[in-house]
Every structure is written in structure tokens, then in C-alpha cells.
Structure 1
């Protein structure tokens, strides 16, 4: 197979097209039919898969079988025949490759490597400065350089925004306030566990005297009990001594525990505990209402401290940093501009070859001027032209007719296409007569190297087709017929409008 190629399209369900198969030739394919029959609907599936248009109905389903030339191992997709599918049901659109669901972006990116789609009024894109820049970047293969430039442009924007939004003096004052709050919390160093312990100790400290008296009485009583138990031990038989000893041990253990707790309680300083609790309550009033909230706010304050520190450091070194970023940005922007200018020369050389074949007498020039840095660099590119030799070149939007714009766009597209499929939806808009003959010859010539699919009203183009399809619509039913020579002749006669002998003979 000579290059990438659309092998077939299957419309399961698209408006009034139900279960229709279209098998394309590797060269020039022409789709014709009465106005309103739905010729352009056949191409909708390509627009949807390429993410350049949306479907015209709420529910649809279609497949495109295509031979691609490159492996995409990261997506488990390889060269050869692949099935690209699109289905929309209940406002949910699903994209698939070989039956497996993929994001729309991946599907459109792969197909856009091979398919150039020229739809009705797409020649108007030629008037959009961003389209021209993208066009030149595609020729220059600037994608990686543009990505690097935009990275530096984003950094530069952040520095500029920082400089415009923040004052170094105000940031330092804000930093001091946050630092003071952090130090206040850190000085107290609160914890949930300590707060619980403080509350417990404070309750004990408030009942200190009562507790001491109570525990003292218990200890005194325990000593008396111990004396009586020793007396009992001297009176009982030997077989009861173990029981008495156990009783003595229990009483003595109780005395030791009570004494230990008394010693601990006597070490409590109620005033000191009160002061500590006061510190906790102060923090809770400021950063609470709970210690959990205080600790969470402490984390937020530390985060703010880090962010402000970074901003201060950035502002303090802003001049040097901004200069470094700006130098890098200028370097990449200059590289982009130089590559675009070389691409413009290359495109113009190719353009004049194609425009001559399209009966387009039009001088063209890419005018470069510098503007403020933006997402594309510092280039502003205006497409200038003139249909009259020797006339001063003016913006194409002011001097080109609809038919000339269409042919201009076609010539530019042909100037950059390398290997793939060219799809044209009524590229003949505004074209007739000898120019139509030239366009037909050009499409035939191009189809020697690329697969071409054309929706057209021109009989000159239809005659040149390697495969001719006709779209019919009967009430709510649509069909796509692959024409044999007899029916093809009838269709061309219909397009001519009378029984005039066909002037163009298929080569």
C-alpha cells in the first residue's frame, strides 16, 4: 500500500443513513448527489473523530477502517489496518480503536497524523493569524521548541504576576505576624494528651486537703489492721498462716499505693497547673475553639510561612530571575521566528507550483512583525496577497474572493501535506468553468501520491474519479451507491444539466 489510506466507512446509524458501507479507492474518490441529499453528512464521521466538528444528531454510530503507517506502542496500536469507532448515546460519546475505548484526544491525535480535512468555509481559517502561526509551526516541526518556549513564558508570567500583586514590604510584615503566631503556639507546645492530663491533675489538686485527710485515715486504719492480723497469726494454727499472710500482703500493698499517690499529689502545684491551663485556654480562644483546631491552624500557619518565605525569596531575587527567564524566553521565541520564516519560504515555493495548476494568479507573502510576548512567541504573521501583478500586497482578507480563498487554502494545504489522506467537502465552492477544469486536473494529479476523497458539485471533478459514489435520499432513508460506468455517465449528465456531449474524458 503506497501510504496511509481510509479503506472503508460504515455508518451504523447516522441521521437517515442506516447500515451503510463505503469502500474507498486508494486514489481519487468523488461523492456527488442532489443538493440536500446529505453528501457532507458522509464526511461528518471524519470531523467527529478528528475533533474538529460535532455530530449533527443526538445519537449515532460509525466506524472508519484505516491503514496507518506508524506504531503507537504506548497505546498498544500498531501500523496496518485499524478500526476507529465513534458512538453517541444518551449524551455520552465513546471513542474506540479496535474495539477498545480510548480518550477522544488520543483518537484525534493519531488520525490527524494522516488526515487533512477541508470542510465548507474552512478557507476562512486562512484569515485567522493563529491558524497561520500553527500552520508554519507544523511545517517547521516546532512542537518541542514551542513547548519549551511556553514553559518559560508561563514562568515569566508568574514572576510578573507576583511582582504586580505583592509588595516585598507588605510580605515581610505579613511574615512577621505569622511568625509571631507560630512562636506563640510553639512556646506553649500544646498536645491533646497533655490537656487531658492537666484537667485530671487540676481536679485532684482542688481536692488536695480532703484527699490527704482521707488517705491518711485509710493508712492509719491499715496499720491497725496489720497489727491485729499479726496477733491473729500468732493465735491460729499453722494451717491458716498462708491465709493470714495473704491478708497482711493485701493491706500492706494498699498502704504503699496510697502513700505513693499521696506523694504524687503533694508534688502537684495547683498554681502552676492553673497557669498551664490558662495558656491552653488562651490558645483555644485565638486559634480554637479546641486544641485539635489549634494544632490544625498551626499546620496552616507553617504552610503560609513557607509560601511567604518563597515569595519573599523570589521577590528579593526577582530582577535577576526575571532577566534569566526573559533571556530564555527570547532565545526560544527567536528560534521559533527564524524557523517560521524559513518555513514560509518553503511553503511559498510549493504554493506557487500548486496555485499555477489551480489557475490561481495570486502573489502571496507572509508578513512578519513583532508584538508583545504571547503564547506563540513574539511573531505576528499576516498573509498578504494581490491578484494583480505589480499591485501593492494587502491583507488577503481584503483582496481575495470566496473562490480565491478556497483555492488559496487548497494550495497551502497541498504545500505541507506529506503522506496521508486529503478530504475535501465542496472544495469547489465559488469555482466553475476553466478553473473547475484546473481543479479537477489538480486533484487527479494529487491522487497519484495521496488518497483523495471529495464531495463536489463539479462534473469536471466527477469525471476524473477513480471511484464515484452518489448519495440519494428518499423520504427518511438515505443510500450511498458506488456507480458503474453507465450510472456514472447518467450522474455526470445530471450534474451538467442537459444531454451535452461530455467534454472531459477520463484519463
Structure 2
């Protein structure tokens, strides 16, 4: 196989469709059924996997088997059949490839390389301001140049914002204030551990102070006792001298021991502790209320100062840098513009071939206009057209009918598709008669090179199908049946509304 193909879709549980299997042909696959049976619901799984549609219920489970022609070793996805699944329960949606969970963006990106989905009212996109620009960028594969341009454009906006909203002198003043705070905190160099240690040591120092006061009182009292003992010694005879000397020795020893302890305690500098605690309390009052807050604010001051320095540097070099960025923007915007104009020429060449096949007589032109730099570059592109030859071209959105827009959109999509799978959800709305025949022939022609899956109400399209599926809704839920020739004739008869018309077509 040298092109992608959807092999099958299985709806485990989607609204009223349960355990439904659909096996597709490599050519033209047609899905029909009465109005309101849920034909378009079958295509929801493609839209969800492509990331361009949301499911219509809060809980569902579906999977798609697709044969792809290339390898994606970075995702462990290789050529051949691969299973893409989607499961939603409540607010949680899970995307998988071959049973392995992947981000939605990766699944959508991979599948979008092979599948083009045209849903009802897709032609409305032509009316959106930036659709044509996106369309031309996809056609010309401008993604790298557009990415580079947008990087410089974002830089340009930041510089312009700085120049218009900020003053260099104000920034420098703010930086000076921040650096003053940083220096103040760094001078103290606070830590949670030191604060706890200071509290412990201060408690000890306070108790020591109480001890010194008590010991001094005892020393004073001991001095008085010594004086009294000397008076008593003078009054007594020698028989009691030994006892008095012993008492005096005991008092003196006590005084020496107490003085020694006082000297040791006084070496503990409570004043230094109080000064350090004062520094901590000052920081907490200014940047607290806790030392944890002080440290957090310090870290924020450092970050803010770095940002301010960067902004100051940008402002100081703003004019020079702005000119450099503008030169880069001009370069990439010019590349984008040239590439888009070349793409527009190629698209128009292909468009006219497809539009003729779709019975669409429409002159078309991409009108380019230079504008100020914006997210897309410096191009404004409008699609002009005319349904009457020789008439002045006007914006397509103002002159084309819904049916014309639908066929115009289809012709544009066919002009740019290069490989893979085309899925159409009732693109034939508002189309009938000869135009319906043309559309059927075009879809059949396209299905020779691409797998085509189409939901339709046109019997002309259904007749051309390589595989025909019909959707029914019963009391037991939704059903999708692949039709054999006999049942297919009955379904086309229903679509035509007459045996006579069917017989006429068969003849």
C-alpha cells in the first residue's frame, strides 16, 4: 500500500450506537439514511481524533483502525495497521495509539497528515478573516518561516511595550530600592536555624542573669556574716577559736566558689545576643512577619532584580534591537508573502479544473494587500470572485450562495490535498440535479487516488459508491449496515422516492 486508508471504525459506546463495526473500502464509501437517524454521528470519531470537534455526550468509547504508509519511530508507530482510540468518562478524555496513551495534540497532528475532514458548514470558514492565510500557509508548507516570524514578532511586541509603558529612570529607581533591600537582608544573612538557636541561648542568658543577682546577694550576706564572726571571735576565749576559724574558712570558700561561677557566667555576652535578636526582629517587621517570609521575600527580590536588569538592558539597547528585530520580521514576512503568492497561483490552476467538474462557473482571485506587521506577517489576503464572466470581482463572502460556497470550498480543498483520506459530511446540502451528478462524478474520480468517506442525501452519489452503508435508528439503538446489491437498490429507491426513477437510471 502506498497511501493511507481507514480500515474500520468501532463504536463501543457513542450516544445510541453500541458495538457498531464499519469496515471501509479503499475507494468511495457512502453513508445514507433517513433524516435524524444519526448519519453524521458516525463521523464524530474522526473529528474528535483530529482535534477539531467535541463529542456530543459526556461518556463514549470508540476506536479507528488505519493503515498508514510511513513510520513514526518517535511514537513507536510504524507503517501498516494501527489502532487509534478515544475514551471519555466525565471530564477525563484519553487518546491512545496501539493501546498506549498519547497527548491529544500528538494524535491529532499525526492523523491530520492523512485525513481531511469537511463537515457541514465547512464553507463558512471562507468567511473567516484569517482562513485564506492559513489555507495558503498550509498549501505552501510555510510552518518553519511562520514560526520564525512569530518569534521575532513576539519579541517586537515586548520591546514596543517596554518603550511605551516603562521609563528607564523609573526602572533604575525600582532596581536601586530592590538592591537596598537585598543588601539589608544579606547583611544579616538570616536563617531559621540561627533564629531558633538565638532564642535558646537568650533564654539561658536570662536565667544566668537571675543567677548572678542571687549570687551577689549571697556574697553580700556572706560578707556581713564574716564581719559578725570576727566580732564574736574577739569576744570568746581561745577554747572556741578553732570552731570560729572553721566557720570563717567555710564562708570564704563559699564566697570564692560563687565569685568563680559569676565570672564564668559574665563571660556569656547577653548584649551581643540582644543586638542579634534585634536585627532579626527588624527584618521581620519590614519583610515578615516570620523569618520564613523574610527569606521568601529575599528570593523574590533577587528574581525581581534580575528581571528589572533584563528590562533595563532591553531599554538601554531598545532602538538598536528594535531595528534588528524589524529587519528579521521583514525578511520572514517577505518570504511568507512570496510563498503565499506562488501557492495562490498553483491553487487557482487546480481550482478551475475541479470547479468545472463540479459545475461551478466561478472566476476566482486571491487579492494581496500589504498591512502593518501582525501575527500572520504583513499580508492581508481576500478571496474575490464573480459568477458572471467579465463582471467586476467582489469579495466571495458577499456574492456566493450557500451551495456555491460549499462547492467552492470543496474545489479549494481538492486543489491542495496531496495524499490520504477525504471525509465529507453532507457537502451536497443545497445541491441537486445536474450539479448533483457532477458532484457524484467528481467524488468517484477523486476516489481513484484517495479513500473517500461521504455522508450524503443524493442518490447520484450513492449510486457511485464502492461500499454503501445505511444508518437506522430503532428502539434498541442505532445500527449501521453494509448493503448488498439488493438492499442497496432498495435504499437508492427510497432516496429517489420512485421505482420508475430508479428503473430509468438503471436503463
In the superposition, the TM-score normalised over structure 1's length comes to 0.84
Give the alignment's Cα RMSD to 1 decimal. Answer: 3.1
Alignment deviations for residues 44-98 of structure 1 (CA, whole Å, 9 cap, x no partner): 1111111221222333222211111221111111111011122223343222222
Return the offset for 1:348: 0.6
Worse overlay, 31-40 or 199-208: 199-208
Report what 2:263 is aligned to: 262
Worse overlay, 199-208 or 147-156: 199-208
CA distance in 1, matches of 2:279, 2:15: 75
Report what 1:392 is aligned to: 392
Report what 1:4 is aligned to: 4
Query: Could you say what secondary structure the match of 2:149 adopts?
Result: helix
Alignment deviations for residues 406-435 of structure 1 (CA, whole Å, 9 cap, x no partner): 110110110111110111111111111111
Report what 1:199 is aligned to: 202
Alignment deviations for residues 430-464 of structure 1 (CA, whole Å, 9 cap, x no partner): 11111111111111111110111111111111111
Return the offset for 1:212: 8.6
Report what 2:241 is aligned to: none
CA distance in 2, matches of 1:190, 1:108: 53
Report what 2:417 is aligned to: 417
Cα separation, partners in 2 of 1:195 and 1:22, compared to 1, 3 Å: same
Report what 1:153 is aligned to: 153
Return the offset for 1:37: 2.3
Report what 1:236 is aligned to: none
Query: Could you say what secondary structure the match of 1:129 adopts?
Result: coil
Report what 2:162 is aligned to: 162
Return the offset for 1:200: 6.3
Contact kept, 8 Å, 1:460 with 1:504, in 2: the verdict is no
Report what 1:246 is aligned to: none
Return the offset for 1:505: 5.7
Contact kept, 8 Å, 2:202 with 2:270, in 1: the verdict is no
Listed as ranges, the gaps of 5+ residues in structure 1 are 218-254
Report what 2:362 is aligned to: 362
Cα separation, partners in 2 of 1:184 and 1:29, compared to 1, 3 Å: closer
Report what 1:182 is aligned to: 182
CA distance in 2, matches of 1:190, 1:13: 62
Alignment deviations for residues 272-295 of structure 1 (CA, whole Å, 9 cap, x no partner): 665555444433332334444434
CA distance in 2, matches of 1:181, 1:450: 69
CA distance in 1, matches of 2:492, 2:304: 76
CA distance in 2, matches of 1:430, 1:122: 14
Report what 2:298 is aligned to: 298
Worse overlay, 14-23 or 393-402: 14-23
Report what 2:49 is aligned to: 49
Report what 2:97 is aligned to: 97
Q: Does 1:117 align with 2:117?
A: yes
Contact kept, 8 Å, 2:171 with 2:308, in 1: the verdict is yes
In the superposition, the TM-score normalised over structure 2's length comes to 0.84
Return the offset for 1:375: 2.0
Cα separation, partners in 2 of 1:189 and 1:35, compared to 1, 3 Å: closer
Cα separation, partners in 2 of 1:260 and 1:151, compared to 1, 3 Å: farther
Worse overlay, 82-91 or 434-443: 82-91
Listed as ranges, the gaps of 5+ residues in structure 2 are 221-255
Report what 2:284 is aligned to: 284
Report what 1:227 is aligned to: none
CA distance in 2, matches of 1:263, 1:18: 90
Which residues in structure 2 correspond to 1:418-437 (within 5 Å)?
Answer: 418-437=418-437
